[in-house]
């Protein structure tokens, strides 16, 4: 007796749909509650994080879990959504084609493309109740009257400083004092002379501070490019 094997049925596209749907849901949940990748868009956090137009910009891992249990601390590098007054020139980059735009929006859910928020990266310098300033004669940015460590700040400054209105120690123009309101943070870029941070928004109703509910997570590491693979630790201020 001769046995013949029946030809195997070719998998159909719909056979993969449940697995694809499950993968999409899992990725979306991870992005929403655990963490995600972000691309550094500018040089405001040099030398800690690298970014510039046309460069191989850093991709960073940002985790959310820590802040479920305790708020951001001075020295943390955080990702946050820009408050309303920080978004005057922000535009979401999306295709005019309805189908392409739909794919882009789905990609944003799982972190493959930027979402619709003005995502920014800065370092926490002061938290609720602390007073931050940098005035003429100060040796560095001051928090509650004490100088802060600035070993992580880009040196020498990228942009020349007018010593009639500011100093290298202040990273630009003098400012403050500002007392951080409850539920807010004072943030600054490590590239002090080329960072639109809390100092640039002192005229806002919150005096440049960022609400805690705008924080999306803490930067843990640079993962790409591989040549810059490194952890991003909390600085001792």
In Å, how far are 46, 48, 72, 219, 225 from 222, measured between CA atoms? Answer: 13, 9, 19, 8, 8
The answer to whether residues 179 and 171 touch, using CB atoms and an 8 Å cutoff, is no
| C-alpha 151: how far from chain center | 20
Distance CA 91, CA 58 (A): 21
Distance CA 52, CA 41 (A): 6
42, 43, 44, 195: the active-site residue: 44
Secondary structure of residue 237 in the 3-state scheme:
coil
Q: Do residues 165 and 219 make contact, with C-beta atoms less than 8 angstroms apart?
A: no
- Candidates 122, 140, 167, 195; catalytic one: 122
122 is catalytic: yes
Query: Is 8 a catalytic site residue?
Result: no
Q: What residues are annotated to the active site? A: 44, 122
């Amino acid at each position: 007796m001769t046995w013949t094997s029946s030809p195997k049925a070719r998998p159909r596209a719909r056979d993969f749909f449940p697995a694809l749907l499950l993968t999409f849901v899992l990725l979306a949940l991870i992005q929403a509650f655990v963490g995600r990748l972000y691309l550094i868009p500018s040089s405001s956090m040099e030398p800690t994080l690298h970014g510039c137009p046309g460069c191989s910009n850093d991709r960073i891992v940002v985790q959310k879990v820590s802040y479920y249990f305790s708020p951001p601390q001075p020295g943390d590098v955080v990702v946050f959504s820009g408050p309303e007054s920080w978004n005057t020139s922000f535009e979401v980059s999306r295709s005019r084609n309805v189908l392409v735009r739909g794919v882009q929006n789905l990609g944003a859910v799982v972190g493959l493309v930027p979402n619709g928020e003005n995502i920014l990266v800065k370092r926490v310098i002061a938290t609720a109740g602390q007073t931050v300033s940098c005035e003429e004669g100060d040796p560095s940015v001051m928090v509650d009257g004490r100088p802060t460590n600035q070993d992580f700040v880009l040196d020498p400054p990228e942009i020349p400083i007018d010593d009639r209105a500011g100093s290298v120690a202040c990273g630009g123009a003098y400012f403050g004092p500002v007392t951080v309101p409850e539920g807010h943070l004072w943030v600054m870029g490590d590239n002090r002379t080329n960072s639109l941070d809390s100092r640039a928004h002192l005229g806002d109703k919150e005096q440049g501070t960022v609400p805690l509910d705008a924080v999306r997570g803490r930067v843990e590491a640079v993962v790409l490019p591989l040549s810059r693979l490194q952890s991003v630790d909390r600085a001792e201020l």
